Amino acid sequence: MLLDHYATLSPDTRKCLVQNLVMLRNKGVITSIALLRTLFPLLPRTTSSSLRALIRRTILSDVRTANLRTKNHKLNRAVQAMLFGMVERGMDAEVVGDRVAKVQSASLHFFLGGEEEQEDSDEDDDNEPDVKALQHRREINKKTRSGDKKIQKTMKSVKSKQKRKAESSTTNFPAIQLLNDPQTFGEKLYDSLNRHDKRFSLDHKILVMQLLSRIMGAHKLCILGFYTYLMKYLTYHQLRIPAILVALAQSVHDFTPPDALMPVVQKLAQEFVHPGVGSEVIAAGLNAIREVCRRQPWSMEEGLLSDLVEYRKSKDKAVTAAARGLLQLFREVNPGLLKRRQRGKEASMGMSSGAQPLPFGHTAVAAADIEGLVLLEEHLEKLRQENGKDDYQEVDDEAGWDGWDVESDSSSEASDDSGGWIDVESEGEEDLDISDSEDEADKLAKIKGRDDGHEPAQQMTFEEDAGTRISSLATTKILTPADFVLLNDLRIQSASQAVERGGGSSAKRKLATLESNKKGLAKSGNAEDTFISENDILGPRKKAKADYAERIASIEKGREGREKFGSLKGKKKKGAPSSSTNREKARNKPLMMVIASGAVRSKKKASLREKQQKLRAHIERAKKAYH
């Protein structure tokens, strides 16, 4: 009825039919695929916003529930086929209005992530309790166990909401990492941005900039025209300039040519860092230059760096912090660009010992090992000694793939067509000649860890010229996903010990990067691959001074629930409302204040004649009061 007679049904009937289908799915009468095959064709046909929201919410919740514990590959493939069918029908349809920009905007939001639950998060922010107010009230009120439990429960709920909000706002890393041809995709994205520069709105162009910059940073792409395109937007009065500066910084990596970045850095310094702009603009410019130079230090010139570092003497806190951050960065990456008095003790000692940064495009040594693989080798050797097994490596290999294999469909037909491994019986395996030379056979025996006498041999380890140990574990053992997880944990443990021994800021940054890798926020071990936010560009900001309207609003808010004119001290305690007199106030005055008052001191200094006059006046007043 829904698919064949949708146009003739009333809106209420359509909604009731959809709700009945959802109820049948919840009761197990129909399958998820049958439900989704009905709901997907209704999305482009319905004109009711409430029904479209119901269908969309039903599809998302059904797919999310089906993949909650284990991935339902059969349902996911069916949903993908339905989505591809909708996209193909939309491509063949007639273009009405500016639909291309709308489709592109939806695609950009998919890659950038965090747009599905934005409305729900906005509603939660309005109902979120004030944590600081609760803590302040807890310090003032009476301490009880029930109060402590209530505060802890509220704090736990607030932290969980903040965590969900942070997870929803993170980038869709799998979609970016699994691009088939990132260079071609990035070039097409830039061509679209450059070609439709006057057609797209500023918000849409910033979305394209953000996606393009993240792809360039994640895959280390060189699209040099992008930096020329950004030059015209690098002005302090440009709308949404913090987001544009974030896109600029994220697009830079260690393979970006410094010649393409030097004009950009100079433009940032000319537009943002000079006495004619505000302190917030200077801080944003210095932070943007620092983030660009952190990823490519050779984009900075010596004279420009000397001028920028002088801003560390500014009276504004944000500007001082930004300039000091830039100074500290070049003390670590390239202290030769700094003046002698600005280098610091450690950088000066390093330069005196002959340590110099490598020029652009040069590396110290060739890639010969996986970082931290020696730690994994030592850990496995320790476990092997504790268990006392020679074949621990084989057992560990089998257990390392538990929980990491891709699940197959429950039906046998689907598993036969899934393209998996097929076991083939080998005939005459002992007659198979692996190598034609005895030397290659010896090498193969050594790699397997056994010699000609079939006795276990020690694993091969190599030494570099400098004495750094290189593990051969990767050539003697197939590393499982569990091994890589353990390798990351061991690297975090080693970095934590280095920080405790006083490794400095570089060790702290390495630890923070490894921890972010564990959470899935980055895909490599370099700090340049972690994405930044607008807060990193703006830096710490002090609270702006309230204007006249804000001060009046604050005063009016403080007067709410209070009677007009003065305090209520004398009006609550007395039958007839009145204020206290000065004589009543003097009675409650502290004695030490009374002794030091002018009236008491004048009595002590009064002459005999003045005392007689006061006494006569007192007697006359008493007589008048008596009569």
Write the single-letter amino acid at 265: V
Q: Phi/psi at 40 (nearest 5 deg)?
A: -60, -45
Co-location of 12 and 70 in the same domain: yes
Backbone angles phi, psi at 410, to 5 degrees: -70, -30
Note whether residue 119 is domain-resident: no
Q: Is residue 522 part of a domain?
A: yes
Residues 525 and 592 in one domain: no
- The token pair at 420 is 């998996």
pLDDT tens, position by position, 581-624: 888 888 888 888 888 888 888 888 899 999 999 999 999 999 88
How many domains does the chain fold into?
3
Task: Based on the fold, state whether residues 613 and 526 are members of the same structural domain.
Answer: no
Q: Same domain for 532 and 593?
A: no
Cα 38 to Cα 323: distance, rounded to the nearest angstrom: 60
Low-confidence ranges of the chain (pLDDT < 50): 115-123, 391-395, 404-467, 521-529
CA distance 441 to 433: 10
Residue 551: inside a domain:
no
* Residue 514 burial class via C-beta count within 10 angstroms: exposed 0-12, middle 13-18, buried 19 and up: buried
Residue 486, domain extent:
479-540
Q: Has residue 166 been placed in a domain?
A: no
Nearest to 193 by CA among 170, 210, 181, 214: 210
The pLDDT assigned to 478 comes to: 74
What's the angle, vertex CA 220, arms to CA 219 and CA 222, rounded to 5?
A: 120
Give the CA dihedral 147, 149, 154, 155, nearest 10 degrees. 110
In the block, tokens 């083939």 appear at 424
> Given this model, what pLDDT does residue 527 score?
37
Q: In whole angstroms, what is the distance from residue 416 CA to residue 422 CA?
A: 10
CA distance linking residue 227 with residue 207, whole number of Å: 16
Identify whether 35 is part of a domain.
yes
Q: How far apart (Å, rounded) are the C-alpha atoms in residues 215 and 526?
A: 15
- Are 17 and 86 contained in the same domain? yes
Which pLDDT belongs to residue 419? 42
Note the pLDDT of residue 555. 87
pLDDT at 495: 84
Q: Does 491 fall in a domain?
A: yes
Rounded to the nearest 10°, the torsion over CA 357, 359, 365, 367 is 120
**370-389 confidence digits (pLDDT tens):** 777 788 888 888 887 777 65
Q: Which of 71, 93, 115 is the last residue of a domain?
A: 93
Is residue 63, in this structure, part of any structural domain at all? yes
Which of 93, 110, 131 represents a domain boundary (last residue)? Answer: 93
Q: With respect to residue 445, please indicate whether it lies within any of the assigned structural domains.
A: no
Structure tokens at 499: 């920080």
Q: Which residue's structure tokens are 């979609």?
A: 175
Residues 23 and 86 occupy one common structural domain: yes
pLDDT of the residue at 289: 96
